Each structure stands twice: as structure tokens, then as C-alpha cells.
Amino acid sequence: MPPQVRVVDYGIRGMHLAYDLLDGYDALVLVDAYPGAGPPGR
């Protein structure tokens, strides 16, 4: 990743994510995923 990109795994720490969002960003990509048994997109 380029130095201006920050990748973080928050797990279940929602409050930590909320406080980090106060820092301000130009863009945010939030991925919410879990290991499912079905095909992708289901």
C-alpha cells in the first residue's frame, strides 16, 4: 500500500473505529464481512 493509505482491522472494536474517524480522511472504504458457507455475494 502507498504510505498515504491506512489499512486497519478493527474486529469488534466499534468505539475505536468511531474515534479514529474523528481524525478526518479524504476517503473511507469500509468492508463488513464474515466467513459464510454460501457462494460470494449471497
Q: Over the stretch 1-42, which tens digit does the pLDDT of each residue have? A: 888 888 988 887 778 888 888 888 888 888 887 787 888 777
Residue 27: predicted pLDDT:
87
Check residue 23 and report its DSSP letter.
T
Q: In angstroms, rounded to a whole number, what is the distance separating the alpha carbons of residues 8 and 10?
A: 6
Residue 37: predicted pLDDT:
83
Residue 39: predicted pLDDT:
81
In the numeric block, the cell 502507498 is attached to 2
Residue 32: predicted pLDDT:
80
Q: In angstroms, rounded to a whole number, what is the distance separating the alpha carbons of residues 2 and 26?
A: 15
User: What global pTM score does this model have?
Assistant: 0.53
Residue 12: predicted pLDDT:
77
C-alpha cell read off for 42 = 449471497
